[in-house]
């Protein structure tokens, strides 16, 4: 799958988030569930089932038991399998909403395609990610010859 693009959405009062139609269209009809889990730094990530299995297999190959335990606590333990409702929304549990800063009045969300996964960020967190990304791109000597705007 190749999820690209971003969309600004609003989390509804029941904690449901509408996933963009073009992202939903890329999911196989016979396996349209997503695996939703924490992402580093306070966002969420939704994987199609096959991408989730590949991610888990990669984690299982790490030999250091302390790192294995840390990864389990960060990614495996908090995961939820979520299904779309008739309006194309997925439910986000309270614990995952809290991790992502999507509590109280903070219901503005960015849904961002990241190749084989869908990243979900609060509006504030995404603004910070963009700020850091701009700074990194502006100061990286590796990118100077690309003619970036």
13: which residues sit within 8 A by CB, 6+ positions away? Answer: none
Contact 126, 100 (CB under 8 A): no
Question: What confidence tens digit (pLDDT) does each residue in 26-60 have?
Answer: 988 887 899 999 998 789 999 999 999 999 999 88
Spatial distance between the Cα atoms of 1 and 141, rounded to a whole number of angstroms: 31
CB atoms within 10 A of CB 111: 22
- Beta partners for residue 114, in sequence order: 117
Q: Does domain 6-142 have CATH number 3.40.630.10?
A: no
User: Going by DSSP bridges, is the β-strand pair 34-38/80-82 parallel, antiparallel, or unpaired?
Assistant: antiparallel
Give this prediction's pTM.
Answer: 0.89
Q: How confident is the model at residue 147 (pLDDT cuts 50, 70, 90)?
A: confident
| pLDDT category of residue 140 using cuts at 50, 70 and 90 | confident
Domain locations in the chain?
Answer: 6-142
CA distance 86 to 123: 25
H/E element, 23 = helix 21-24
């Amino acid at each position: 799958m190749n999820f690209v693009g971003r969309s600004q959405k609003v989390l509804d009062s029941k904690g449901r988030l509408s996933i963009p139609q073009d992202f939903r269209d890329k999911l196989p009809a016979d396996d349209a569930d997503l695996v939703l889990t924490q992402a580093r730094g306070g966002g969420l990530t939704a994987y199609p089932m096959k991408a989730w299995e590949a991610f888990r297999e990669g984690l299982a190959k790490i030999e250091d038991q302390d790192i294995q335990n840390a990864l389990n606590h960060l990614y495996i333990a908090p995961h939820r399998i979520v299904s779309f409702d008739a309006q194309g929304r997925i439910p986000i549990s309270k614990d995952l909403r809290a991790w992502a800063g999507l509590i109280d009045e903070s219901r503005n969300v960015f849904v961002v395609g990241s190749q084989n996964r869908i990243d979900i960020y609060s509006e504030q967190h995404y603004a910070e990610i963009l700020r850091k990304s701009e700074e990194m791109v502006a100061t990286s000597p590796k990118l100077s010859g690309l003619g970036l705007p």
